[in-house]
Amino acid sequence: MTRTLKMIIEYDGTDFVGWQAQANGRSVQEEISKVLDQVLQDSVNLIGAGRTDSGVHARGQVASFRTQSSLGCGSLFTALNGILPDDIYVRSVEEAPADFHARYDARERTYRYFIALTPSTFYRRYQWHVRYDLNLRAMNDVAALIVGDHDFESFCKYAAEVHHYRCAVTHSAWMQVGETITYEVRANRFLHGMVRALVGTMVDIGRGYIPVEEFRAVMDAHDRRRAGMAAPPHGLFLEEIRY
């Protein structure tokens, strides 16, 4: 009997080329697939809910696959975490409906980006140290502008394989705790490089390089060259997928 299983996964993306299996380096998908094939004695097609880029981390990546194996979820959970490398941890394994698809069934995805106002030896792989003084109020004014259904072509990498650039954003806000500034954004979908482009643009606004009033014009331009730089990948985390 064919079963569909769902996993929640966290990983440190520092030493990966991203989630997606690629010929040019080590991927999260490939590492987990190899162990699944070994433990289940079955060749599985592992599907992730989000294709995180090289250097991007995850605390709540969701993946699904189908298998003929009868191995219980508890036993599979123990086996996976006993074999997988230290920079990947499977948080849960559970039975899912037969037609469950980790990517296409997802209704909402949440990302967080972390900025450090002072350098840290311990967090340097997980926060972007920004040396500028940042106007958090201006950054939040701009963050509020993207809530709703908008075209985000100006914040998408060129030649992205998408049919359209519209995303429905339900939450977008900055907050500061101590010397760390965090951006949280939630939407039904995200384009390739979208969160990093938004963060980079909002940092440019926060340091006064781009006026707040120009942000709407940047969005309406549908041109990636009008937006700011892409923030470094190591500050970005895929936090949660909702179904």
Helix (H, G, I), strand (E, B) or coil at 50: coil
Give me the mean pLDDT over the 41-57 stretch.
95
Does the pLDDT value for residue 216 go beyond 90? yes
Position 146 scores a pLDDT of 97
* 167 within some domain: yes
Position 1 scores a pLDDT of 86
Does the pLDDT value for residue 149 go beyond 80? yes
- Give the span between the Cα atoms of 17 and 183, in whole angstroms: 23
Position 23 scores a pLDDT of 83
Look at residues 69, 96, 123 and tell me which one is the last residue of a structural domain: 96
Q: What is the CATH number of the domain that holds 176?
A: 3.30.70.660
Do 124 and 169 reside in the same domain of the chain? yes
Do 127 and 68 reside in the same domain of the chain? no
**Active-site option among 53, 87, 141, 149:** 53
Position 217 scores a pLDDT of 95
Does the pLDDT value for residue 160 go beyond 70? no
* 101 within some domain: no
Do 89 and 166 reside in the same domain of the chain? no
* 213 within some domain: yes
Total structural domains within the chain:
2
Chain centroid, CA 70 distance in Å:
32
* 199 within some domain: yes
Higher pLDDT, 141 or 159: 141
| Spatial contact of 210 and 142, defined as CB atoms under 8 Å apart | no
- Give the span between the Cα atoms of 186 and 206, in whole angstroms: 21
Look at residues 64, 96, 128 and tell me which one is the last residue of a structural domain: 96
Do 116 and 90 reside in the same domain of the chain? no
Does the pLDDT value for residue 8 go beyond 80? yes
* 9 within some domain: yes
Do 144 and 203 reside in the same domain of the chain? yes
pLDDT tens-digit readout, 176-207:
999 999 999 999 999 999 999 999 999 999 99
Residue 74 structural domain: 3-96
Do 134 and 232 reside in the same domain of the chain? yes
Position 162 scores a pLDDT of 82
Do 132 and 91 reside in the same domain of the chain? no
Look at residues 66, 96, 126 and tell me which one is the last residue of a structural domain: 96
Measured between alpha carbons, how far is residue 119 from residues 89, 116, 140 in Å? 27, 7, 23
Determine whether 98 is exposed, middle or buried from the number of CB atoms within 10 Å of its CB (0-12, 13-18, 19+). Answer: exposed
Q: Out of 158-172, 202-216, 223-237, pick the least confident.
A: 158-172
* 196 within some domain: yes
Does the pLDDT value for residue 18 go beyond 70? yes
Q: What is the CATH number of the domain that holds 66?
A: 3.30.70.580
Give me the mean pLDDT over the 145-150 stretch.
97
Do 92 and 210 reside in the same domain of the chain? no
Which pLDDT band, with edges at 50, 70 and 90, does 22 fall under? confident
The whole model's pTM is what? 0.95
* 102 within some domain: no
* 79 within some domain: yes
Do 119 and 74 reside in the same domain of the chain? no
Position 90 scores a pLDDT of 98
Which pLDDT band, with edges at 50, 70 and 90, does 25 fall under? very high
Do 112 and 181 reside in the same domain of the chain? yes
Mean of the per-residue pLDDT values for the chain?
96
Do 160 and 238 reside in the same domain of the chain? yes
Measured between alpha carbons, how far is residue 31 from residues 11, 38, 203 in Å? 11, 11, 34
15 catalytic per annotation: no
pLDDT tens-digit readout, 73-114:
999 999 999 999 999 999 999 999 999 999 999 999 999 999
Do 238 and 121 reside in the same domain of the chain? yes
Position 159 scores a pLDDT of 63
